[in-house]
């Protein structure tokens, strides 16, 4: 193999003249984590809302939830990013469109919104399945005790659902972190984009991608370990905590 | 809002979008699915073999693929495949690999990890008694797997495999990052050439939606018809 390895490349100055290549990768890691965290919070809030709508007794709410999920699940994330980044500002009134285009860090906001909405459809599916997995008696008993429907969800159904759903939600969080790499297509300089830039400037392809891969694996392990600790604390006694196989990334 | 929406640009570029772009996307999806399922099944058999020598590398491979972003893997293979080619063919120079072959290797190897987990769940869903009965009848390991376990495992997992194929179909759009002309790549090239981003990206989103939605509906129907009555 006639590839010239050069591991000390990480300590050389990158073309921005201030940071070493290692530092640029770390900044990228920061953007990856920030984007994923914001997107996941958005996805969790919206996903829970849609998931609740889809289990509510109102047919219009169920239909609305179904349309939402189908819409965001059946269009590739990359295309959704482009829609938010290139198409939305053109469809808005001129003033609003111009404001959006000139926003500092526009690609960051685009990535958060696109990734958040994309993941919310998946989380809505999980939340719906979680709520439906609860015994019917829990809903009936709380309603019989005089709780209103919102109270039933707030105090009885959702707390149980989240405790049961922690393992699948962990994998959705990991998916969010992985999918945040797609944001490089709208110009967000996150970890993969930084590794790509490092490869372009230094021609050290495999060093750059090895570093990025190791950082992603490390993030993955930390998240998995942390969520495992939380899982043990909040596990519902009496459940087997079984995971069902599902397709997806 | 839609007043200056130019439908003509879409009509004009339809042949290019579908004959060049969509043909690439569909061919890549189909081949990567078929080869991916074969490789994935082998990985699953390795993971379930009970021999550390086979279990360990398969598990490590699957976990590696599942913990890094697909975009990063596309970059990895884009640069790595020429060197793999060099290594396989013992040539002096890294081998020149076409865009399609490079994408096919990437998608096959990446998706194999996901198909492996699906097939593993499928194999584990077969009652242990069936394997014991087959062995008692004197069947060898390949016979037990080939005639008893895998056909049933495959049948049980067809809906999940189809769902994963739809995911794969949507993921093919990511080859955009290495400037390959798949359906989205074709749409994007027309969009930038004619300055018609809104029309082309909206149209691309609609096409992806229609195909994925129809396929997922078909998967649901199939799931109901394939369900084994026990």
The answer to whether A170 faces chain B, any CB pair under 8 Å, is: no
According to the model, what pLDDT value does residue A239 have?
Answer: 67
Residue A70 belongs to a domain: yes
According to the model, what pLDDT value does residue A211 have?
Answer: 92
Residue A17 belongs to a domain: no
**Mean pLDDT value of segment B30-47:** 94
* Cβ neighbours, 10 Å, residue B100: 15
Interval A155-202: pLDDT, tens: 999 998 998 888 889 989 999 999 999 999 998 999 999 998 888 888
According to the model, what pLDDT value does residue A1 have?
Answer: 55
Residue A10 belongs to a domain: no
For residue A219, the chain B residue with the least C-alpha distance is B67
Among all chains, which residue has been given the structure tokens 């189908």? A70
Please, which pLDDT band fits residue A104 given cuts at 50, 70 and 90? confident
Please answer yes or no on whether A86 and B1 come within 8 Å at the CB atom.
no
Residue A37 belongs to a domain: yes
What phi and psi, each to the nearest 5 degrees, are found at residue A33?
-65, -45
- Under a CB-based contact definition with an 8 Å cutoff, are residues A113 and A46 in contact? no
According to the model, what pLDDT value does residue A2 have?
Answer: 67
Q: Which of A116, A105, A112 is nearest to A48 (CA)?
A: A116
Please answer yes or no on whether A75 and B212 come within 8 Å at the CB atom.
yes
Q: For position A160, which CATH number holds?
A: 1.10.3720.10
Opening angle at CA B128, ends B127 and B131, nearest 5: 110
C-alpha torsion angle, residues B37, B40, B45, B50 (rounded to 10): -160
What phi and psi, each to the nearest 5 degrees, are found at residue B112?
-55, -35
Q: Which of A112, A113, A126 is nearest to A48 (CA)?
A: A126
- Under a CB-based contact definition with an 8 Å cutoff, are residues B13 and B199 in contact? no
The answer to whether A118 faces chain B, any CB pair under 8 Å, is: no
* Calpha distance A218→A201 (Å, rounded): 25
User: Model ipTM?
Assistant: 0.87
Q: Which residue has the higher pLDDT, B228 or A209?
A: A209
The answer to whether B28 faces chain A, any CB pair under 8 Å, is: no
According to the model, what pLDDT value does residue B196 have?
Answer: 85
- Under a CB-based contact definition with an 8 Å cutoff, are residues A19 and A198 in contact? no
The alpha-carbon gap from B71 to the nearest alpha carbon of chain A, in Å, equals 6
Average pLDDT, chain B: 89
The answer to whether A249 faces chain B, any CB pair under 8 Å, is: yes
For residue A176, the chain B residue with the least C-alpha distance is B69
* Calpha distance B216→B229 (Å, rounded): 22
- Under a CB-based contact definition with an 8 Å cutoff, are residues B106 and B73 in contact? yes
Interval A31-64: pLDDT, tens: 999 999 999 999 999 999 999 999 998 999 999 9
- Under a CB-based contact definition with an 8 Å cutoff, are residues B71 and B177 in contact? yes
Asked whether residue A244 carries a pLDDT value surpassing 50, the answer given is: no
- Under a CB-based contact definition with an 8 Å cutoff, are residues A186 and A100 in contact? no
According to the model, what pLDDT value does residue B55 have?
Answer: 92
Among all chains, which residue has been given the structure tokens 């938010």? A84
Please, which pLDDT band fits residue A242 given cuts at 50, 70 and 90? very low
Please answer yes or no on whether A87 and B201 come within 8 Å at the CB atom.
yes
Average pLDDT, chain A: 88
Asked whether residue B7 carries a pLDDT value surpassing 90, the answer given is: no
According to the model, what pLDDT value does residue A10 have?
Answer: 79
* Calpha distance B61→B41 (Å, rounded): 14
Please answer yes or no on whether B68 and A178 come within 8 Å at the CB atom.
yes
Residue A197 belongs to a domain: yes
B residues 139-198 lying closer than 8 A (beta carbon) to A:
160-161, 163-164, 166-167, 170-171, 173-174, 176-177, 184, 188, 197-198
Domains of chain B: 14-226 (1.10.3720.10)
* Calpha distance B156→B119 (Å, rounded): 9
Residue A65 belongs to a domain: yes
According to the model, what pLDDT value does residue A148 have?
Answer: 93
Residue A195 belongs to a domain: yes
- Under a CB-based contact definition with an 8 Å cutoff, are residues B50 and B62 in contact? no
Considering only CB atoms, which chain B residues are within 8 Å of A172? none
Q: Which of B116, B122, B107 is nearest to B62 (CA)?
A: B116
Interval B78-131: pLDDT, tens: 888 888 888 888 887 778 888 888 899 999 999 999 999 999 999 988 888 999
Report how many domains make up chain A. Answer: 1
Residue A6 belongs to a domain: no
The alpha-carbon gap from A91 to the nearest alpha carbon of chain B, in Å, equals 5
- The tally of CA atoms less than 13 A away on the side-chain side of residue A156 is 20
Considering only CB atoms, which chain A residues are within 8 Å of B198? 86-87, 90-91
Please give the model's pTM, rounded to 2 decimal places: 0.88
Interval A9-30: pLDDT, tens: 778 777 777 888 888 899 999 9
- The DSSP call for residue A248 is -
Domain that holds residue A99: 26-234
Residue A13 forms beta bridges with which residues?
A20
């Amino acid at each position: 193999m006639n590839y010239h390895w050069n591991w000390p490349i990480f300590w050389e100055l990158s073309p921005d003249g201030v940071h070493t290549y290692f530092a640029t990768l770390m900044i990228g890691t920061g953007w990856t984590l920030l984007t994923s965290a914001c997107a996941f919070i958005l996805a969790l809030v919206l996903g829970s809302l849609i998931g609740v709508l889809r289990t509510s007794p109102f047919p219009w709410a169920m239909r609305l939830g179904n349309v939402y999920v189908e819409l965001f699940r059946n269009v590739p994330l990359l295309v959704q990013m482009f829609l938010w980044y290139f198409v939305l500002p053109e469809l808005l009134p001129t003033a609003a469109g111009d404001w959006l285009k000139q926003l500092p860090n526009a690609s960051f906001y685009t990535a958060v919104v696109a990734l958040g909405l994309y993941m919310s459809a998946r989380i809505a599916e999980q939340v719906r399945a979680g709520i439906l997995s609860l015994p019917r008696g829990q809903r009936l008993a709380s309603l019989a005790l005089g709780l209103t429907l919102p109270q039933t969800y707030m105090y009885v159904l959702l707390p149980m659902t989240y405790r049961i759903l922690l393992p699948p939600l962990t994998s959705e969080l990991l998916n969010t972190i992985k999918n945040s790499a797609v944001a490089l297509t709208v110009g967000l300089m996150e970890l993969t984009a930084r590794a790509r830039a490092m490869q372009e400037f230094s021609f050290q392809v495999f060093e750059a991608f090895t570093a990025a891969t190791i950082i992603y694996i490390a993030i993955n392990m930390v998240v998995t370990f942390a969520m495992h600790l939380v899982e043990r604390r909040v596990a519902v006694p009496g459940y087997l905590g079984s995971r069902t196989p599902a397709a997806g990334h | 809002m839609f007043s200056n929406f130019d439908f003509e640009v879409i009509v004009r570029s339809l042949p290019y979008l579908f004959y060049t772009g969509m043909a690439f996307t569909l061919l890549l999806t189909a081949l990567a699915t078929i080869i991916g399922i074969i490789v994935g099944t082998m990985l699953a058999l390795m993971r379930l073999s009970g021999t550390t020598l086979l279990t360990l590398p398969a598990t490590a491979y699957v976990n590696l693929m599942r913990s890094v972003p697909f975009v990063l893997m596309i970059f990895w293979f884009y640069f790595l495949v020429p060197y793999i080619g060099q290594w396989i063919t013992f040539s002096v120079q890294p081998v020149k690999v076409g865009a399609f072959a490079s994408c096919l290797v990437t998608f096959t190897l990446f998706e194999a990890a996901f198909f492996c987990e699906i097939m593993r769940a499928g194999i584990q869903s077969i009652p242990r008694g069936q394997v014991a009965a087959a062995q008692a009848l004197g069947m060898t390991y390949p016979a037990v797997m080939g005639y008893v376990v895998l056909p049933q495992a495959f049948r049980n997992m067809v809906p999940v495999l189809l769902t994963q194929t739809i995911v794969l179909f949507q993921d093919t759009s990511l080859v955009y990052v290495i400037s390959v002309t798949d359906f989205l790549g074709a749409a994007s090239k027309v969009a930038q050439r004619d300055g018609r981003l809104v029309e082309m990206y909206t149209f691309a989103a609609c096409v992806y939606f229609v195909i994925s939605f129809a396929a997922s509906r078909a998967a649901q129907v199939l799931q109901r018809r394939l369900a084994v009555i026990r």
